[in-house]
Amino acid sequence: MSKEEIFIGAIDQGTTSSRFIIYDQKARPIGSHQVEFTQFYPEAGWVEHDAVEILESVKVCMAKALDKATADGHNVDSGLKAIGLTNQRETTLIWSKSTGSPLYNAIVWMDARTSSVCRKLEKELSGGRTHFVETCGLPISTYFSAMKLIWLMENVDPVKQAIKSGDAMFGTMDTWLIWNLTGGVNGGLHVTDVSNASRTMLMNLKTLDWDRHTLETLGIPAEILPKIVSNSEVIGKIGKGWPITGIPISGCLGDQHAAMLGQACRKGEAKSTYGTGAFILLNTGEEIVQSKHGLLSTLAYKLGPEAPTNYALEGSIAIAGAAVQWLRDSLGIITTANDIEGLASQVDSTGGVYFVPAFNGLFAPWWRDDARGIVIGITRFTSKAHIARAVLESMCFQVNDVLDSMQKDAMEKGQKTHFVLRVDGGATVNNLLMQIQADLLGSPVVRPADIETTALGAAYAAGLAVGVWKEEEIFASGEKAKTSTRFKPALEEQLRKRKAESWCRAVERTFDLADLSL
């Protein structure tokens, strides 16, 4: 192998697993490893992670990926130029500055325990649920980090004490990882990036800094918050105790923003990532667009401290691939996640069954934390194959709901109303899922050759900051990758419309069911 080889590494810290991927100079993966970690459900609607277990999973992934790449003859030790990082967003942690230990488990983005906090604020603040939208682009919801932070401050004694003594540090998973990677208690850097900060409800979308008025309103002390940086700049170097040391961390984006970059989405272009949840983002360029149809205004990316800021409209879906895991782990209908394609293929329809996975409420465009999951339309004819197919359809219907809202917002802005749907994420290997998506959407779905565009986006941001790639190259390479596989709709239009109407009726039946789980 040539001594001139250049590599970029990417940490992809997701909701159910962590992975590390090493890319060569042509952005091709040459070594990777993935590790799942524990999901904790202490009460109905609660979801937690052990932040220390996540650290260990990242460390194992780095070591194993390096071993694999080296075994294949790549001189990664001398050729690795930088590391990018991407992560599950909104998941919230507070830890001790002096000991480095978490003061409570990480509260995961889909956790719904803060509904009472949300209701209280909606009643107290003018504008109710939309009080902070003008500033941060987000409604008051259990989804965002600020609500989880308030819950921790009100309910966890070690957190209260650490804040009082000045020993508390707040962060999302990017902040926790970077602090530990750069030294932890021995000088670790307390930073986050603009995309992750935009999901806390605490950052001003225009100034890209913590909003003082919001902090005062919510009673959150500014001193526990990290410094905000761009998505592509040298943040710091990896310290001792990691499989890689001395390498700069030069890229950081929340997972959906990284996928946008990995898909090379410019202004007017949209992508949908199918993972634990599903997330559809439309790049709106340098304009902050306030949705009138249940979407969020957020950051797309900012590729350097002096680079222009690209914004986005986003529709977030809490449960997509997580419903497949539920079939596997809770019901035992399938043995592995991949089994769902074969099972669902045994039937050519759901037999009139509709499944709405409102396990912890519904996000965009409904925003109903009182919703709970239902399966309806069951008859004696219904089999587990029909249920499996209904689960796949539920992902696609939810994506359609978001795209419909995007089209309405675009029409009102006088913009084009038809988006080619670019897809990525682990669930897109399921060809049946992609065909169902095209059928129910009524337009083509395009899957790139490399579906792990989240990690690729983190690598692009890191490589851009250290001069491995130029911005034009990143977007040019993305253009080539977009045309790999195209799924064309084959469902008759009238049937598609009838199914969409039945889906909406099913969704409405999930409302006001939260109390039934108590």
Domain that holds residue 404: 320-442+492-517
Question: Residues 35-46: what's their mean pLDDT?
Answer: 93
Question: What pLDDT digit, counting tens, does each position of 181-201 carry?
Answer: 999 999 999 999 999 999 999
For position 416, what pLDDT does the model report?
A: 62
CATH code of 496's domain: 3.30.420.40
* 324 and 455 co-located in one domain: no
* 113 and 233 co-located in one domain: yes
* 117 and 221 co-located in one domain: yes
Q: What tokens does 299 get? A: 């950051």
Question: What pLDDT digit, counting tens, does each position of 280-290 carry?
Answer: 998 888 988 88
The pTM of the full predicted model, rounded to 2 decimals, is 0.86
Helices then strands (H, E): number in the chain? 17, 23
Does position 482 have pLDDT exceeding 90, yes or no? no
Which DSSP symbol is given to 252?
Answer: E
For position 144, what pLDDT does the model report?
A: 95
Does position 386 have pLDDT exceeding 90, yes or no? yes
Would 303 be classed as within a structural domain?
no
* 251 and 342 co-located in one domain: no
For position 497, what pLDDT does the model report?
A: 94
List the alpha helices (DSSP H) in 112-249.
115-124, 133-136, 145-155, 157-165, 173-181, 194-197, 212-218
* 355 and 259 co-located in one domain: no
Q: What tokens does 30 get? A: 């040459």
Does position 5 have pLDDT exceeding 50, yes or no? yes
Would 312 be classed as within a structural domain?
no
Would 139 be classed as within a structural domain?
yes
Q: Which residue has the tokens 């689960």?
A: 391
Would 48 be classed as within a structural domain?
yes
Instruction: Give the helix/strand (H/E) hosting 356.
Output: strand 354-356
* 344 and 472 co-located in one domain: no
Taking phi over 0 as left and psi of -120 to 50 as alpha, with beta for the rest, 116 belongs to alpha
Which residue from 278, 288, 283 is spatially nearest to 315, judged by alpha carbons?
A: 278
Q: What tokens does 470 get? A: 């130029």
How sure is the predictor about 418, in pLDDT bands with cuts at 50, 70 and 90?
A: low
Would 513 be classed as within a structural domain?
yes
Question: Residues 360-387: what's their mean pLDDT?
Answer: 92
Question: What pLDDT digit, counting tens, does each position of 78-126 carry?
Answer: 899 999 999 999 999 999 999 999 999 999 998 989 999 999 999 999 8
Question: What pLDDT digit, counting tens, does each position of 120-146 carry?
Answer: 999 999 888 889 999 999 999 998 999
Question: Residues 433-444: what's their mean pLDDT?
Answer: 94
Would 307 be classed as within a structural domain?
no
* 113 and 216 co-located in one domain: yes
Which residue from 30, 13, 14 is spatially nearest to 22, judged by alpha carbons?
A: 30
* 457 and 433 co-located in one domain: no
Taking phi over 0 as left and psi of -120 to 50 as alpha, with beta for the rest, 93 belongs to beta
Does position 417 have pLDDT exceeding 90, yes or no? no
Give the chain's domain count: 2
Which DSSP symbol is given to 108?
Answer: P
* 338 and 205 co-located in one domain: no
Question: What pLDDT digit, counting tens, does each position of 41-70 carry?
Answer: 999 889 999 999 999 999 999 999 999 988
Q: Any idea which of 262-266, 291-295, 480-484 has the lowest mean pLDDT?
A: 480-484
Residues 87, 173: contact at Cβ < 8 Å? yes
* 25 and 106 co-located in one domain: yes
Residues 137, 296: contact at Cβ < 8 Å? yes
**What string of H, E and C letters represents the secondary structure of 371-418?**
CCCEEECCCCCCCHHHHHHHHHHHHHHHHHHHHHHHHHHHHHCCCCCC
* 194 and 57 co-located in one domain: yes
Would 302 be classed as within a structural domain?
no
* 133 and 223 co-located in one domain: yes
How sure is the predictor about 2, in pLDDT bands with cuts at 50, 70 and 90?
A: very low
Residues 48, 103: contact at Cβ < 8 Å? no
For position 517, what pLDDT does the model report?
A: 44
- Amino acid identity of residue 370, one-letter, is D
Does position 483 have pLDDT exceeding 90, yes or no? no
Q: What is the mean pLDDT of the chain?
A: 92
For position 1, what pLDDT does the model report?
A: 40
Does position 277 have pLDDT exceeding 70, yes or no? yes
Q: Which residue has the tokens 């925003």?
A: 367
C-beta neighbour count of 103 within 10 angstroms: 22
User: How many residues in the chain?
Assistant: 518
Would 196 be classed as within a structural domain?
yes
